[in-house]
């Protein structure tokens, strides 16, 4: 206690250590990003600008046209490969972030998003286990929620032919990775005989849930799970959720709010409480994310400015502040890199102090999400839980 009787403010010591204060060189702009990570034409130096997005269009359009020609001649494997390459270019073009809640934040990036979905579905329609886009009614919507939940669904053909219901993984996407960006993961699910439903999280892409309402995801998942229960292909006794990055936050939340409907949940790279603190957010723009995170993460939660987000988000969205972590949960695996500079590793440790016991795997010297080692722990855990 100080001489004036006031307790001095304690400064949090992050496990990230000196790296918390460091600012990575790629944040000096697109030129620096390219010279340190990528390569980019035309001296474009603003990832949020239209010129950045438009630079990818000619090559993506050419690849799509080449894929169309190959598909005409039934060279389906090569056509699919070109379509996927085009989809990847459109994905990078729409970075760092898009939303339509409450309005489209960038019309040109939204054009890239629509083009990505279109070319991705061309590829997915050629596969044996096809990708189907389903528009699920948002029957539990309220307030500023919209009416429909677009999802991508893949069902293992072997299960359909044998008339069996398939275990199913619901994949929650992140801040900038959306439905067409998860081919490899969905292939892994299918290889294990599992169906998958891929869905975007509030405040991103096509998600209809009000991003400014912290309870909107609870309504969203209720509608989605109720719809799944009406479909004959899903084994509702074996439903798992895997949340990626920002989706990890929603994974931790659903593990508590819908625990009785889920076999298990993986929260990878999750922010739960400390991520929303002003102290963390003051430095987050200098870490491993390729662009400025502040503008995107603010819009994603329904705020007009990063300053407003830093002041208000903690009380509104923290899973500790709103009592979610204190509730019992289904089986929950938290996984991340110990050097995560986007979502503090403290946010993956915090759930162990509350509620029911949790499970975890954290990787030393690994950044956000714990790659490349993470999948070596996630898939075996999923297998053990799904068959348990």
Give catalytic residue positions.
Answer: 245, 340, 368
Half-sphere exposure of 239 (CA within 13 A, CB side): 23
CA–CA distances in Å: residue 8 to residues 1, 255, 278, 351: 6, 37, 18, 28
Specify the 3-state DSSP secondary structure of 264.
strand
CA-wise closest residue to 221 among 312, 291, 122, 151: 151
Cα angle 63, 65, 66 (rounded to 5 degrees) comes to 65
The DSSP call for residue 371 is T
Beta partners for residue 150, in sequence order: 135
Angle subtended by helix axes 107-124 and 76-94, to nearest 10: 160
* Residue 185: both structure tokens together: 């993961």
The DSSP call for residue 205 is B
CA distance 213 to 28: 34
* Residue 27: both structure tokens together: 């944040």
CA distance 42 to 21: 32
CA distance 115 to 121: 10
Cα angle 19, 21, 24 (rounded to 5 degrees) comes to 65
CA distance 323 to 112: 39
CA distance 72 to 82: 13
Residue that the structure tokens 């090559």 belong to: 59
């Amino acid at each position: 206690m100080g001489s004036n009787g006031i307790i001095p403010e304690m400064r949090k010591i992050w496990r990230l250590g000196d790296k918390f204060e460091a600012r990575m060189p790629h944040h000096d702009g697109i030129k620096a990003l390219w010279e340190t990570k990528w390569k980019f034409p035309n001296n474009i130096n603003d990832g949020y600008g239209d010129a950045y997005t438009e630079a990818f269009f000619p090559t993506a359009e050419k690849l799509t046209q080449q894929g169309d020609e190959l598909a005409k001649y039934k060279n389906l494997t090569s056509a699919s490969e070109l379509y996927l390459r085009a989809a990847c270019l459109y994905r990078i073009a729409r970075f760092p972030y898009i939303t339509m809640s409450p309005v489209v934040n960038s019309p040109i990036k939204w054009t890239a998003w629509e083009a990505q979905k279109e070319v991705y579905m061309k590829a997915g329609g050629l596969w044996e286990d096809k990708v189907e886009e389903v528009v699920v009614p948002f029957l539990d919507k309220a307030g500023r929620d919209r009416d429909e939940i677009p999802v991508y669904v893949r069902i293992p053909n072997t299960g359909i032919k044998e008339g069996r219901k398939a275990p199913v993984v619901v994949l929650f996407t992140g801040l900038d990775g959306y439905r067409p960006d998860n081919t490899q993961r969905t292939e892994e699910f299918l290889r294990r005989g599992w169906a998958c439903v891929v869905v975007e999280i509030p405040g991103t892409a096509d998600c209809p849930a009000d991003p400014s309402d912290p309870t909107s995801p609870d309504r969203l998942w209720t509608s989605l799970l109720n719809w799944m229960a009406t479909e004959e292909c899903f084994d509702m006794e074996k439903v798992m959720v895997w949340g990626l990055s920002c989706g990890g936050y929603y994974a931790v939340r659903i593990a508590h709010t819908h625990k009785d409907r889920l076999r298990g949940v993986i929260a990878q790279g999750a922010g739960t409480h400390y991520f929303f603190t002003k102290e963390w957010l003051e430095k987050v723009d200098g870490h491993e994310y390729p662009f400025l995170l502040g503008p995107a993460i603010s819009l994603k939660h329904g705020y007009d400015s990063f300053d407003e987000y830093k002041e208000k988000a903690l009380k509104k969205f923290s899973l500790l502040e709103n009592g979610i972590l204190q509730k019992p949960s289904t089986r929950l695996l938290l996984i991340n890199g110990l050097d995560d500079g986007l979502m503090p590793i403290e946010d993956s440790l915090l759930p162990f102090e509350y509620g029911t016991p949790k499970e975890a795997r954290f990787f030393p010297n690994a950044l956000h999400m714990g790659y490349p080692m993470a999948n070596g722990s996630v898939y075996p855990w999923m297998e053990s839980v799904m068959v348990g």
